[in-house]
């Protein structure tokens, strides 16, 4: 039988665990647990060795990349200076914005960009007034990118002051390519400022190098000393120029360092990731010549999940799985012989708790379990016999109870020769109406008993009033009306009749509130009382009384329908009409005994 994990946990907490699970658990503990503990210890040692290896690899990688990036930036500057020397040798450096010189300058710039397509995206030479010519790859236009245009403006200001310029990291649209602007001043033979040679440099080469180094969960990227991203392998998530000092522990460390300090450091730290803390191992290496730093970091879990450890885990898991499988197979067949008879006993117990007292459990298994099954079957037989006797006694008590009520109702009716059989007929009509209303069997029983006793209060009414052949005076009618409350008071001490009291006490209440004894109206009148009210009226109309002759059933039904809504409940009147039309209520076939 399959057992869900939550169900198993609940049983464990309650101390109710199957013998099968206990046996299997014991075998697993003595077989797989020692192996698992030993494997865990070896694995932890291996994982720590892997973390140490990761620290060494990160240190070497960060230093190596720092040197590469430093060389890359230095080479860019040298190339730009070489291009400036070409402008000087061709005599174009003095006035690059001269319209006559512009075609030659443009050709030189285009040749330079074409020969350095992997690095230089855009190259411009401008004169003293900031005007000049340019060359670019594809459709790139510096003036269309506000960040590049602003960086070129700052570059011009720096060059006017004879200072070499390198911008903050830039993100080029549309795919956030990392780049930056470098510029050198142009000067004539007398060292006078004549303009600026500036370039937009792509970091795609460095980006590919970072992507190659970012493997197996390791992330390698470059930031400047202000904490801004220079280049990151995930360009869609980490945009060049974005401030990481608030998000990265290593970047915050770099930002706090002196800018002229060359340093390489490896550390372990924690970072927040999706609302939980992740332990990391990371290294940074700064190179103050550019004011940048290379960062390499990896989660400790990824560092520990090396291929060697994975293979060790796989082998250990295979070995433990075989041991566990053998333990489970052996334990299962061993435990089934014990647990199966007990499960049969438990199933029989549950069946008896549901009232299936004929259920018996098979006698098999070990001697103690077989003896337990035999005793259980004997106990079940005794219980079944005892329950049958209880059912018989309960049925006899019920018949006695209903018989007593019938005799009491008959005794009440006998006080007045004109009402003989009245209570039985009212009970019959009430039951048929309740059936039309789809009441439950329990509610039907309550309506029937309440209807039988609805006039029990007439015991307390003076015979001179009760048996008066003519119309009652107002004073006599007031005395007659007390039979409802008297009946309820007579029956109230009987706890078994408490649910029947509303029908006894309130069957003369009217829907419009003009009834008695309390003048209730509408929903205030219980359904039981509303049913008995119509049944009582129907019998009164269709039997001979001192003050009237018996009416025809259809005529009486018409009179009752005319009073629907004022005296009677419309829904119950409809139920009465349905019972009459389908032939359930026929005056000639009404049975008095119900």
**pTM, rounded to two decimals:** 0.48
CATH fold of 93-205: Beta-Lactamase (3.30.450)
Distance CA(375)–CA(6), nearest Å, equals 34
As a 3-state breakdown, the chain gives helix, strand, coil percent values, each rounded to 5, of 55, 15, 30
Instruction: State how far the Cα of 482 lies from the Cα of 485, in Å rounded to an integer.
Output: 6
The confidence score (pLDDT) of residue 340 equals 66
Question: Domain 415-589 is classified in which CATH homologous superfamily?
Answer: Hypothetical protein af1432 (1.10.3210.10)
The answer to whether the 93-205 and 415-589 domains have the same CATH topology is: no
Tell me how far the alpha carbon of residue 398 is from its chain's centroid: 52
pLDDT for 40 equals: 67
Please, what is the angle between helix 307-353 and helix 19-89, to 10°?
Answer: 150
For residue 345, what pLDDT is reported?
67
**What pLDDT, on the 0 to 100 scale, is given for residue 224?**
92
Q: How far apart are CA 103 and CA 125, in angstroms?
A: 12
Q: Alpha carbon 470 to chain centroid distance?
A: 76
177-187 and 264-273 beta bridge pairing:
unpaired
Please report the pLDDT score of residue 1 as a whole number: 43
Burial group, residue 286, by CB count within 10 angstroms (0-12, 13-18, 19+):
buried
- Tokens 């009033």 locate to 465
pLDDT at 574: 94
Packed helices 367-414 and 441-452: angle between N→C axes, nearest 10 degrees: 30
Q: Tokens 């409350």 correspond to what residue?
A: 485
| 460 touches 493 (CB < 8 A) | no
Tens of each residue's pLDDT in the chain, 594 residues: 444 556 555 555 544 556 666 666 776 676 666 766 666 665 666 667 778 888 888 899 999 999 999 998 889 889 999 999 998 888 888 888 888 888 999 999 999 999 888 899 999 999 998 888 999 988 888 888 899 999 999 999 999 999 999 998 998 888 888 999 999 999 988 889 999 999 999 998 999 999 999 888 889 999 999 999 999 998 888 899 899 988 888 999 998 988 888 899 999 888 887 778 888 899 999 988 888 999 999 888 887 776 555 665 666 667 767 767 776 776 676 666 666 666 666 666 776 666 666 666 666 655 666 666 667 677 777 777 777 777 777 676 666 667 667 676 666 666 655 566 888 889 899 999 999 999 999 999 999 989 888 888 888 888 788 777 777 888 888 888 888 898 889 888 888 889 989 999 999 999 999 999 999 999 999 999 999 999 999 988 888 766 677 888 888 899 999 999 899 999 999 999 999 999 888 875 444 333
Q: Which residues neighbour 133 within 8 Å (Cβ) at sequence distance 6 or greater?
A: 96, 97, 102, 105, 106, 109, 124, 125
What is the crossing angle of helices 527-541 and 553-562, to 10°?
140
Which residues, 6 or more positions from 504, have their beta carbon under 8 angstroms from its beta carbon?
A: 450, 453, 454, 456, 457, 484, 487, 488, 491
Domain locations in the chain as residue ranges: 93-205, 415-589
Partnered with residue 280 across adjacent β-strands are 269, 299
């Amino acid at each position: 039988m399959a057992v869900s994990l939550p169900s198993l946990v609940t049983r464990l907490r309650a101390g109710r665990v199957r013998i099968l699970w206990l046996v299997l658990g014991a075998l697993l503990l003595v077989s797989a647990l020692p192996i698992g503990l030993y494997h865990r210890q070896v694995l932890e040692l291996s994982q720590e060795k892997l973390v140490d290896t990761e620290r060494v690899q990160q240190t070497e990688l960060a230093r190596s990349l720092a040197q590469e990036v430093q060389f890359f930036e230095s080479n860019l500057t040298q190339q730009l200076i070489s291009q400036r020397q070409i402008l000087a040798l061709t005599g174009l450096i003095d006035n690059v914005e001269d319209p006559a010189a512009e075609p030659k300058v443009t050709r030189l710039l285009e040749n330079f960009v074409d020969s350095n397509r992997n690095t230089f995206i855009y190259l411009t030479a401008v004169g003293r007034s900031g005007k000049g010519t340019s060359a670019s790859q594809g459709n790139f236009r510096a003036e269309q990118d506000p960040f590049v245009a602003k960086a070129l403006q700052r570059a011009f200001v720096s060059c006017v002051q004879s200072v070499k310029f390198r911008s903050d990291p830039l993100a080029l649209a549309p795919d956030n390519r990392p780049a930056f602007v470098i510029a050198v001043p142009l000067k004539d033979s007398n060292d006078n400022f004549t303009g600026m040679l500036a370039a937009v440099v792509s970091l795609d080469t460095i980006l590919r190098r970072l992507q190659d180094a970012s493997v197996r969960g390791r992330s390698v990227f470059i930031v400047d000393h202000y904490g801004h991203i220079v280049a990151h392998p995930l360009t869609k998530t980490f945009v060049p120029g974005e401030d990481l000092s608030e998000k990265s522990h290593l970047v915050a460390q770099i930002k706090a360092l002196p800018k002229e300090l060359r340093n390489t450091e490896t550390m372990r730290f924690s970072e927040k990731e999706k609302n939980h803390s992740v332990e990391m191992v990371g290294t940074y290496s700064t190179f103050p010549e550019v004011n940048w730093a290379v960062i390499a970091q990896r989660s400790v879990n990824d560092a520990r999940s090396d291929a060697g450890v994975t293979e060790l885990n796989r082998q250990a898991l295979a070995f433990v799985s075989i041991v566990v499988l053998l333990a489970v197979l052996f334990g299962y067949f061993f435990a089934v012989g014990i647990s199966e008879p007990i499960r049969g006993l438990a199933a029989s117990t549950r069946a008896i708790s549901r009232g299936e007292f004929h259920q018996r459990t098979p006698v098999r298994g070990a001697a103690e379990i077989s003896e337990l099954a035999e005793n259980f079957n004997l106990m079940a037989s005794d219980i079944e016999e005892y329950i049958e006797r209880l059912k018989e006694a309960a049925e006899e008590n019920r018949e006695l109870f209903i018989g007593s009520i019938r005799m009491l109702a008959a005794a009440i009716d006998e006080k007045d020769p004109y009402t003989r059989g009245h209570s039985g007929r009212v009970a019959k009509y009430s039951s048929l109406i309740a059936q039309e209303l789809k009441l439950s069997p329990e509610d039907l029983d309550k309506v029937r008993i309440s209807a039988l006793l609805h006039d029990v209060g007439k015991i307390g009414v003076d015979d001179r009033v009760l048996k008066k052949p003519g119309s009652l005076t107002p004073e006599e009618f007031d005395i007659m009306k007390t039979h409802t409350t008297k009946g309820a008071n007579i029956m109230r001490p009987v706890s078994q009749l408490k649910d029947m009291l509303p029908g006894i006490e309130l069957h003369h209440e009217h829907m419009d509130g003009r009834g008695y004894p309390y003048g209730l109206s509408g929903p205030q009148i219980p359904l039981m009382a509303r049913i008995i009210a119509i049944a009582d009226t129907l019998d009164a109309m269709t039997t001979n009384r001192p003050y009237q002759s018996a009416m025809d059933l259809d005529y009486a039904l018409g009179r009752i329908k005319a009073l629907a809504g004022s005296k009677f409940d419309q829904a119950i009147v409809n139920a009465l009409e349905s019972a009459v039309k389908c032939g359930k209520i026929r005056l000639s076939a009404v049975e008095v005994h119900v």
